[in-house]
Amino acid sequence: MKKLLTNKVFKDALLAITLPLIALFLQYSLESINNSREWLFFYPAIFVTAWRRGSLPGYIATIFCGLLAVYFLIPPAFSFKLVSYASTLEILIFSFMGISTSFLMGKIHARYSSMSAHSEELERSTEYLSSLLENIPLMVFVKDAKDLRFIRFNKAGEELLGFSRSELIGKSDFDFFPKEQAEFFISKDRDVLAAKRVVDIKEEMIQTRNQGTRILHTKKIPLYGPNGEAQYLLGVSEDITEKKKQEEEILRMIKEEAVLKERELSTAREIFLAKVSTLLSASLDYHETLKLLADLSVTALGDWCTISIINEKGEFERATGAHVDKNKQVLLEEYLEKYPPDKRVVSVTTETSYYNPQILDSQLKSMIKDQRQYELLMELGSNSSMIVPIKARGKVRGSLAFIAGKNKPNFSAQDLALAEDLGRRAGIAIENALLYSSSQDAIRARDEFVSIASHELKTPITSLKMQLQMMLRGVNPERGLTPPPEKLMKALVNSSNQVDRLTLLIEDLLDVTRIARGKLTYHFEEVNLSKLVREVLERFSEEIQFSKCELTFDLEDSVMVYCDRYRIEQVTVNLLSNAIKYGANQPIHAIVKHEAGKAILMIQDKGMGIPKDMQTKIFERFERAISSTNISGLGLGLYISKQIIDAHQGTIEVESELGKGSTFKVSLPTGL
Q: Which is nearer to ligand ADP, 30 or 450 (CB)?
A: 450
C-alpha 449/C-alpha 575 separation (Å) is 21
Q: Cβ of residue 462: shortest distance to ligand ADP, in angstroms? A: 19
C-alpha 523/C-alpha 569 separation (Å) is 13
Asked whether the beta carbons of 599 and 561 are under 8 A apart, the reply is yes
Residues that bind ligand ADP (CB under 6 A): 574, 578-579, 582, 605, 607-610, 618, 624-626, 633-639, 662
Q: Cβ of residue 578: shortest distance to ligand ADP, in angstroms? A: 3
| Tally of CB atoms within 10 A around 391 | 20
| Tally of CB atoms within 10 A around 276 | 21
Type of residue found at 133: L
Q: Which is nearer to ligand ADP, 48 or 638 (CB)?
A: 638
CA triple 513-516-521, angle to 5 deg? 80
C-alpha 43/C-alpha 96 separation (Å) is 11
Q: Cβ of residue 550: shortest distance to ligand ADP, in angstroms? A: 15
Q: Cβ of residue 529: shortest distance to ligand ADP, in angstroms? A: 20
Looking at beta carbons, which residue is closest to ligand ADP? 633
Type of residue found at 189: D
Q: Cβ of residue 637: shortest distance to ligand ADP, in angstroms? A: 3
Q: Cβ of residue 635: shortest distance to ligand ADP, in angstroms? A: 4
For 231, residues 6+ apart whose C-beta sits below 8 A from its C-beta are: 144, 145, 223, 224, 225
Q: Cβ of residue 527: shortest distance to ligand ADP, in angstroms? A: 23
Asked whether the beta carbons of 106 and 114 are under 8 A apart, the reply is no
Q: Cβ of residue 575: shortest distance to ligand ADP, in angstroms? A: 8
C-alpha 581/C-alpha 635 separation (Å) is 13
C-alpha 618/C-alpha 631 separation (Å) is 15
Q: Cβ of residue 662: shortest distance to ligand ADP, in angstroms? A: 4
- One-letter-per-residue 3-state SS of 327-395: HHHHHHHHHHHHCCCCCCCCCCCCCCCEEECCCCHHHHHHHCCCHHHHHHHHHHCCCEEEEEEEEECCE
Q: Which is nearer to ligand ADP, 563 or 638 (CB)?
A: 638
Q: How does strand 598-605 pair with strand 588-595? A: antiparallel
Q: Which is nearer to ligand ADP, 6 or 629 (CB)?
A: 629
Of the candidates 310, 393, 394, the residue with the CA atom closest to the CA atom of residue 348? 310
Q: Which is nearer to ligand ADP, 412 or 497 (CB)?
A: 497
Phi-psi region of 353 (alpha: psi -120 to 50; beta: other; left: phi over 0): beta
Q: Which is nearer to ligand ADP, 284 or 614 (CB)?
A: 614
Q: Which is nearer to ligand ADP, 157 or 637 (CB)?
A: 637
Q: Cβ of residue 632: shortest distance to ligand ADP, in angstroms? A: 7
Q: Which is nearer to ligand ADP, 599 or 636 (CB)?
A: 636
Q: Which is nearer to ligand ADP, 403 or 608 (CB)?
A: 608
Q: Which is nearer to ligand ADP, 419 or 533 (CB)?
A: 533
Q: Cβ of residue 325: shortest distance to ligand ADP, in angstroms? A: 56
Q: Cβ of residue 598: shortest distance to ligand ADP, in angstroms? A: 22
Q: Which is nearer to ligand ADP, 67 or 442 (CB)?
A: 442
Tell me the backbone φ, ψ of residue 405, rounded to 5 degrees.
-90, -170
Of the candidates 472, 492, 490, the residue with the CA atom closest to the CA atom of residue 481? 472
C-alpha 267/C-alpha 295 separation (Å) is 20
Q: Which is nearer to ligand ADP, 341 or 637 (CB)?
A: 637
Question: What is the DSSP track for 546-574?
Answer: HHT--EEEEE-S--EEEEEHHHHHHHHHH
